[in-house]
Amino acid sequence: MKIEVDFDRCQSNAICMQIAPSVFEVREDGYLYVLIETPEESLKPLVEKAAASCPTQAIKII
């Protein structure tokens, strides 16, 4: 599992971070950082939930 974020689309509203804080972090500078680009399978449900919840559908799992 690999995470790809379209950073142009990201609005830094931190919804993904609330769902999967170990993977997504919106920092003080206002930008989103992907902490683990290839998370373990055990994180898959959370990452999928985060991707589905993103308003602009900026997160893709490949």
Partner 1 sequence: MKKRCAIVGASLGGFRSAQELRKAGFDGEIVLIGEESHPPYQRPPLSKQLLKGTSPVERCYLRGNISEPYSRKLGVRATSIDPLEKNITLSNDTTVEYDYAVISTGARPITFPKVPPSSRVIYLRNIEDSVRLRDQLKQHVRIGVVGAGFIGSEVAASVSGLVKQVVLFDGDEHPMSKVVGPYLSQTLKTVHQNNGVETVFGAPVSIVDSETEDVVWIETPSQRHPFDVVVIGVGVKPATQWLRSVDSLKFDEVGALLADDKGKVYGAEALYVVGDASSWLHPLYQRHIHVEHFESTVNQASQVAKNITNTPRDAPELPFAWTEQHGRLIQTVGVRMADSKDEVIHRSGHALVVLFHSSDKVTGAAVFDASEELSWAKAAVLSSLRKEPD
Contact footprint for partner 1 (CB under 8 A): 6-9, 11, 15, 30, 49, 52-57
- Asked if 56 and 8 touch (Cβ cutoff 8 Å), the reply is no
Which C-beta is closer to ligand SF4: that of 58 or that of 61?
58
Q: Identify what 5 binds: ligand SF4, partner 1, none; CB under 5 to 8 Å per kind.
A: ligand SF4
Residue 57 falls in which region: left (phi positive, over 0), alpha (psi -120 to 50) or beta: left
**CA–centroid distance for 41 within its chain:** 15
32 binds ligand SF4 (CB under 6 A): yes
Q: Contact between 47 and ligand SF4 (CB under 6 A)?
A: no
